[in-house]
Amino acid sequence: MRIFGASAIFSLVLFSHLSLGQSTPSTTFPTQLLLRPAAVFDGETLHLGWAVLVENDKIKAVGPSAQLAAPAGARTLELPGLTLLPGLIEGHSHMLLHPYNETPWNDQVLQESQALRVARATAHARRTLEAGFTTARDLGSEGAGFADVGLKQAIDQNIIPGPRLLVATRALVATGSYGPKLSTDVDVPQGAQEADGVDDIIRAVREQIGKGADIIKVYADYRWGANEPSRATFSQDELNLIVQTARSAGRPVVAHASTPEGMRRATLAGVQTIEHGDGGTPEVFKLMKQRGVALCPTVAAGDAISQYRGWHKGQDPVPERIQQKRQSVKAALQSGVEIAVGGDVGVFTHGENVREAVLLAQEYGMSPLQVLRAVTSGNAHAFQLPDRGRIQPGLLADLMAVSGDPTQDITTLRQVRLVVKGGVIVKQ
């Protein structure tokens, strides 16, 4: 999208500061910016001919373009043919991982230095932001300790560009249930923090919070051995204690869970979201609905892994894993469970985050409008982020613009033409 005149010069100057990772002096850019797209999707509804006024880092006013004039001294950006929408919210990411077809997970955890992983993560953060995702839950550093806390700090201090991060640091697993696993004679660094029993769990949760965790992530089930199915790991009492300890510190708990029993225990404990939910049953989803627990199905991760393992999508029969996933998501939708959108990006390439939204709309029974609501206002609601996810006065000026109408064609989310974070243009 080419924008001419003073607005273009303003945008180029602003982007040059951001590219260097520098904070921009307040005298360099106006405190008010008027955006005039073809349409505005406010997080719920599409409005043709609306405009949005930004003041500093917040949305000042929204409404019909004819009724929203640029205040004296404000800059105006004309965005013909574009739809303006809230910045997208990534529900499940791993900034410190990169695609498993490049390097297997075990090798990333055991053989890649933390310095290398952090360097990669800075590139991942930029790609995520430039793809229109202005917020991301980062659900586990996967063997990189508390490096996600430093990554978040670097973004918040304008050292590097990236989304607003909610970090889970090391995550929690029951002893012996996670990996990497080599010989029984060799203890190797694990991809998450092991904790068991009352004292150990309380200490681990408090340690992670003290080190900077915004979220506590627990693996409610996992594979105890390489060639066996997932089974529940933590007991009901242990999960209850994790949630109670985190909640007293103002932190939500999210649960990796793919078995009915793991999902049931995590839901009864009071987690905020269930991640994956591959084996979810109507009974479990009914319980989740009753308890207000959202499902983040991460369909893109399974799709990617199946292709890494040789599935030629569109040519070969659909793998059993994908068939089961489609059945579980269908059951979740029928139950009315709130669907959060997050692809487990890191399993696949950062910056391709919209892969999850596209799959949900094209292969998992959701309409483009349902998905668009879920990845904006829906995720904000599920993750308890009342200051974002919608375009309305007083909320954060986290915005993006795409070519076309994403309420009709979800793939237009790939046609990103503008990204604004906190009132600052970061991509144009």
239-273, pLDDT tens digit by residue?
999 999 999 999 999 999 999 999 999 999 999 99
- Assess if residue 1 is contained within a domain: no
Q: Give pLDDT, residue 31.
A: 86
Residues contacting residue 210 through CB under 8 Å, at least 6 positions apart? none
- Binned at pLDDT 50, 70 and 90, residue 7 comes out as very low
Rounded to the nearest integer, the mean pLDDT of the chain is: 93
Q: Average the pLDDT over 128-139 and give the result.
A: 98
In a domain, 377, yes or no: yes
Give 360's contacts (C-beta < 8 A, 6+ positions apart): 297, 299, 329, 339, 341, 366, 371, 374
Q: What is the CATH number of the domain that holds 78?
A: 2.30.40.10
- Say if residue 218 is in the same domain as residue 69: no
Mean pLDDT in residue range 96-123: 98
Same domain, 47 and 112: no
Q: Is residue 208 part of a domain?
A: yes
> Do 77 and 162 lie in a common domain?
no
327 and 347, same domain (yes or no): yes
Tens of pLDDT along 20-45? 334 433 344 458 999 999 999 999 99
The answer to whether residue 239 sits within a structural domain is yes
Q: Are 324 and 371 in a shared domain?
A: yes
Average pLDDT for residues 168-191, to the nearest whole number?
Answer: 93
Same domain, 230 and 318: yes
pLDDT tens digits, one per residue of 319-342: 999 999 999 999 999 999 999 999
Instruction: Tell whether 114 is covered by a domain.
Output: yes
Residues 212 and 116 in one domain: yes
Contact 95, 350 (CB under 8 A): yes
Q: 369: helix, coil or strand?
A: helix
Whole-number pLDDT of residue 30: 55
- Tell me the mean pLDDT in the region 128-132: 98
pLDDT tens, position by position, 137-157? 999 999 999 999 999 999 999
What's the rounded Cα separation, in Å, for the pair 101 and 352? 15
pLDDT in tens, 193-230: 999 999 999 999 999 999 999 999 999 999 998 889 99
Q: Say whether both 121 and 250 belong to one domain.
A: yes
The strands making up 216-219's β-sheet, listed across from edge to edge, are: 193-194, 172-173, 216-219, 253-257, 273-276, 294-296
pLDDT of residue 253: 98
143: left (phi over 0), alpha (psi -120 to 50) or beta: left
pLDDT in tens, 352-389: 999 999 999 999 999 999 999 999 999 999 999 999 99
Question: Across residues 117-135, what is the average pLDDT?
Answer: 98
Closest CA to 387 of 44, 87, 1: 87
Domain, as residue range, for 111: 88-382
Q: Note the pTM of the prediction, 2 decimals.
A: 0.92
- Which CATH number goes with the domain that contains 98? 3.20.20.140
Q: Is there a single domain that holds both residue 57 and residue 133?
A: no
pLDDT at 27: 42
Does some domain include residue 278? yes
CB atoms within 10 A of CB 57: 14
Same domain flag for 348 and 315 = yes
177/195 Cα distance (integer angstroms): 11
- 371 and 306 in a common domain: yes
Closest Cα to residue 360, out of 346, 347, 341?
A: 341
- Are 302 and 184 contained in the same domain? yes
The confidence score (pLDDT) of residue 4 equals 35
Q: Which residues of 178-208 are buried (b: 16+ CB within 10 A; e: fewer)?
A: bbbbeeeeeeeebbbbebbeeeebeebbbeb
- Domain assignment present for residue 10? The answer is yes
Number of domains in the chain: 2
Percent of the chain exceeding pLDDT 90 equals 90
- Annotate 104-116 with DSSP letters as a single string: -HHHHHHHS-HHH
Question: What confidence tens digit (pLDDT) does each residue in 43-69 have?
Answer: 999 999 999 999 999 999 999 999 998
Instruction: Please check whether residue 115 lies inside any domain of the structure.
Output: yes
